[in-house]
Structure 1
Amino acid sequence: MATQTVFDFPDDVLQQPPMPADNAFSDKDVKGQDVELSKYKGKVLLIVNVASQCGFTNSNYPELTTLYQKYKDQGFEILAFPCNQFGGQEPGSNEEIQVFACTRFKAEYPVFSKVNVNGKEADPLYKFLKSSKGGFLGDSIKWNFTKFLVDREGKVVDRYAPTTSPLSIEKDIKKLLNVA
């Protein structure tokens, strides 16, 4: 069986709804447009569930922006997925979320539409991420700002807890980017 990646996820895994004909993950961006994740093939990805009213917001967003600015031209991309499943800490509309992230924290990386990361209605990408790299106490996402590092081929390399500073994983990002 071929290794599963975030770029070519088959529709029979996790009994999820059928995927598009090319078996690519697709999510809606913050403006409601479909985005196939295969467009990021060849890039190192940091996929993060974000929230604007979380205690980790003021530390994570600036550090994510710092990493993005530093490595975006070397094949690094951050994919931010707002989620309101933890304490209702992302209550805004997609438009409000984008304004918040882009204005207050200068986020230039893609922000997607709000998703669920746990439960029956969990986004298929998050089902895959969690099944690829379980957490400390099982597969469920425990809180906002859980981070998944994905290599250029779409393989999930690591999972980081919400308490893990984005800058503390810079060495792992550099390794995947082959940056000294």
Structure 2
Amino acid sequence: MAGRSIAHFLFGSLAIALGSYVYLTMQIDMSANNDYKNAASIYEFTVKDTHGNDISLDKYKGKVLLVVNIASKCGLTKNNYQKLTDLKEKYGESGLVILNFPCNQFGSQMPEADGEAMVCHLRDSKADIGEVFAKVDVNGDSAAPLYKYLKAKQTGTLGSGIKWNFTKFLVNKEGIPVNRYAPTTDPMDIAKDIEKLL
């Protein structure tokens, strides 16, 4: 009888400990997603590269950044890939870094998987567009914290939500978003704003 009581006690204690762990883990994850509200700059965010490695954005301190949600099957893809490549070639050595985040939220127009499939797609498209990160959501509860931060700092014309592929955020050398551009904005039309920040 005593053995059964001890077993029940141990099982109950284990269940409580496991439940507490799950609850605390969920709270930590939830608070991590809300950190964007208190972030002073994008340097406080860590993202995954296309191969799943953690990348702290503070590695880009002192650089001018252009953050873009990209897609491979969009009507805007060809022009944006070409013009982002042109921007990188023109301003890369002066301190511009383009951060590309594949996104499949708009018409499922980014079907390529992260990793080698993404690298091959960009190579085949002759898109030397800069740094490429893991696929993210940019809208909704599942949006990447970085994108929640960007949208809070630079709202769009009709609200903060990202409307389509190739929305662009320009970030100064202090990691502060200073401008937002519509998907239809030609990347080369951003050149004058980039030059002011370099």
Please, what TM-score do these two structures have when normalized by structure 2?
A: 0.78
How much has 1:76 moved relative to structure 2? 0.6
Contact 1:52 1:97 in 2 (8 A): no
Contact 2:50 2:135 in 1 (8 A): yes
How much has 1:99 moved relative to structure 2? 1.5
Instruction: Figure out how many residues of one structure are paired with residues of the other and give that number.
Output: 163
Within 5 Å, give how 1:50-89 maps onto structure 2. 50-89=70-109
Q: Unpaired segments of 5 or more residues in structure 2?
A: 1-29
Contact 2:84 2:129 in 1 (8 A): no
Contact 2:103 2:110 in 1 (8 A): yes
Within 5 Å, give how 1:28-47 maps onto structure 2. 28-47=48-67
Q: Unpaired segments of 5 or more residues in structure 1?
A: 1-10
Name the counterpart of 1:126. 147
How much has 1:107 moved relative to structure 2? 1.4
Describe the superposition over 1:101-127 as per-residue Cα deviations: whole angstroms up to 9, x where unpaired. Answer: 233123151100000000000000000
Higher helix share: 2
Question: How far apart are the structure 2 equivalents of 1:14 and 1:121?
Answer: 9
**Does 2:150 align with 1:168?**
no
Q: After the TM superposition, which parts of structure 1 deviate over 4 Å for at least 4 consecutive aligned residues?
A: 11-14
How much has 1:140 moved relative to structure 2? 0.2
Name the counterpart of 2:34. 15
Describe the superposition over 1:117-167 as per-residue Cα deviations: whole angstroms up to 9, x where unpaired. Answer: 000000000000000000011000000000000000001010000000000
SS at match of 2:44: coil
Please, what TM-score do these two structures have when normalized by structure 1?
A: 0.85
Describe the superposition over 1:15-72 as per-residue Cα deviations: whole angstroms up to 9, x where unpaired. Answer: 349x9xxx82011101111100000010000000000000100000110000001111
What is the letter of the counterpart of residue 34 of structure 2?
A: Q
CA RMSD of aligned residues (A): 2.0
